[in-house]
Amino acid sequence: MSTSSDQYRAADEGVAWIDRSSRVRLDVAGPDRAKFLQNLTTNDVKRLPVGSGCEAFVTSPQGKTLAFVSIHARPDSILLRTDHDGLALGLPHLQKYGIFDEVGIEDVSAGSTEYHVVGPGAAEWLQSEGATLPDGKDLSSIATQVHGLEILCVRESPTGRPGFTLISFGDVAAVGEGLRGAGLVELDSEEFEALRIEAGTPVFGREITEKTLPQEIGRDDRAISFVKGCYLGQETVARLDALGHVNKILKGLRFRAGDPVPPAGAILEAEGKAVGSVSSAAFSPGWDAAVGLGIVRVSHASPGAELSWKRLEDGATFSATVSDWPMLPRRS
């Protein structure tokens, strides 16, 4: 069994993998599929050629976030992916408006698997196993084979390191068995969490909730088109863009070596006043300290700003330094 630091080093310097099959995968088919998603998400789905992808928010009529998804254009359908429970609000919303278009929405999560291969050696390893890689754009995808098994290979970097996700809709056990048999280091969920936090990748239910405005996550260039046509919730998004800023935003947080990992929900303070809260935190072997993500008031969100959080059980106070993400440690 590899230790935490071994897992982290493999992802940071070599190649590692993790089973992410618990995520949600929706297949949206039918002649109106692109128009349907264009009308309900923040990004320009209609302009996605086959093999390309994008991030997007599914927004309510009030412009609040119901889901945060990646969207992949395939020859005969569009694949939506998000984290476990990430469509608890978004799926009923999509189904409600799907009756107005010629689309079929199928949850294919149970009949598919999803494995993420990560690290600077990931591309070379996959090619050595016979895979053809998608082009160099983020979230691009290609149908290929690994060990003779049909997969959809997606280029993406949820850890901030080079990565590829292998999605199987056929023999759902075989891909995982092949990865385990290849001798690669397998990441556990705690180690992946540290890598995800360093990258600044948000998760619905933590960084993003139904109260979140899309611009508060700081991924406008990846997930929002400000020039596409009308969509549900666009008025709020456009108004915020015209104002030029939001009042709070997702930021990275660095904690001192030796200090405890703060719990999710810990209040961030400046001069005794609450200015935000921790949404996720984990110990990073790369920093030898805890790292975190949090929603912070813009007035206190400049990189290097010094905040604090208080441990509830004894009132002990610890420092937190605001950081832009990604927060990748320098390799020695």
pLDDT tens-digit map of 200-226: 999 999 999 999 999 999 999 999 999
What per-residue confidence (pLDDT) applies to 172? 72
Is the torsion defined by CA of 298, 302, 309, 219 positive or negative? positive
H-helix or E-strand containing 98? helix 90-98
What per-residue confidence (pLDDT) applies to 174? 87
Share of the chain above pLDDT 90, in %: 91
User: How far, in Å, are 38, 68, 193, 215 from residue 223 at the CA level?
Assistant: 13, 9, 22, 9
pLDDT of 4 over the 90 cut: no
Nearest to 152 by CA among 137, 138, 132: 132
Q: And the tokens for 20?
A: 């992410």
| Residues spanned by the domain of 15 | 4-196
- CA–CA dist 291, 329 (Å, integer): 11
Whether 126 and 271 share a structural domain:
no
Whether 65 and 184 share a structural domain:
yes
Whether 212 and 182 share a structural domain:
no
Q: Judge whether 331 lies within some domain.
A: no
- Of the two residues 33 and 229, the one the predictor is more confident about is 33
240: Cα separation from own chain's centroid: 23
What per-residue confidence (pLDDT) applies to 290? 98
What per-residue confidence (pLDDT) applies to 1? 47
Q: Judge whether 293 lies within some domain.
A: yes
What per-residue confidence (pLDDT) applies to 2? 62
What per-residue confidence (pLDDT) applies to 305? 98
Q: And the tokens for 65?
A: 């976030």
> 0.75 cut: is pTM over it?
yes
Q: Judge whether 43 lies within some domain.
A: yes
Q: What is the mean pLDDT of the chain?
A: 95
Helices (H), 167-207: 174-181, 189-199
Q: What is the mean pLDDT of residues 169-189?
A: 89
Say which residue the tokens 């590692």 belong to. 16
Whether 98 and 164 share a structural domain:
yes
Q: Judge whether 231 lies within some domain.
A: yes
User: pLDDT-based confidence at 3, cuts 50/70/90?
Assistant: low
CATH classification at residue 109: 3.30.1360.120
- CA–CA dist 289, 327 (Å, integer): 12
What per-residue confidence (pLDDT) applies to 110? 94
**Please, what is the angle between helix 189-199 and helix 4-13, to 10°?**
50
**Where is the domain boundary, 196, 224, 241?**
196
pLDDT of 332 over the 60 cut: no
Do residues 218 and 291 make contact, with C-beta atoms less than 8 angstroms apart? no
Q: What is the mean pLDDT of residues 43-61?
A: 98
- CA–CA dist 275, 295 (Å, integer): 9
**Where is the domain boundary, 196, 219, 242?**
196
Nearest to 254 by CA among 329, 322, 202, 159: 322
Whether 184 and 42 share a structural domain:
yes
**123-165 pLDDT, tens per residue?**
999 999 999 999 999 999 999 999 888 999 999 999 999 999 9
Do residues 271 and 238 make contact, with C-beta atoms less than 8 angstroms apart? no
Q: Judge whether 192 lies within some domain.
A: yes
Nearest to 229 by CA among 237, 221, 218, 219: 237
Q: Judge whether 226 lies within some domain.
A: yes
Q: Judge whether 297 lies within some domain.
A: yes
User: pLDDT-based confidence at 243, cuts 50/70/90?
Assistant: confident
- CA–CA dist 198, 221 (Å, integer): 19
**Where is the domain boundary, 196, 216, 240?**
196
Whether 26 and 147 share a structural domain:
yes
In degrees to the nearest 10, what's the CA dihedral of 169, 170, 175, 177?
130
Q: What is the mean pLDDT of residues 28-39?
A: 98
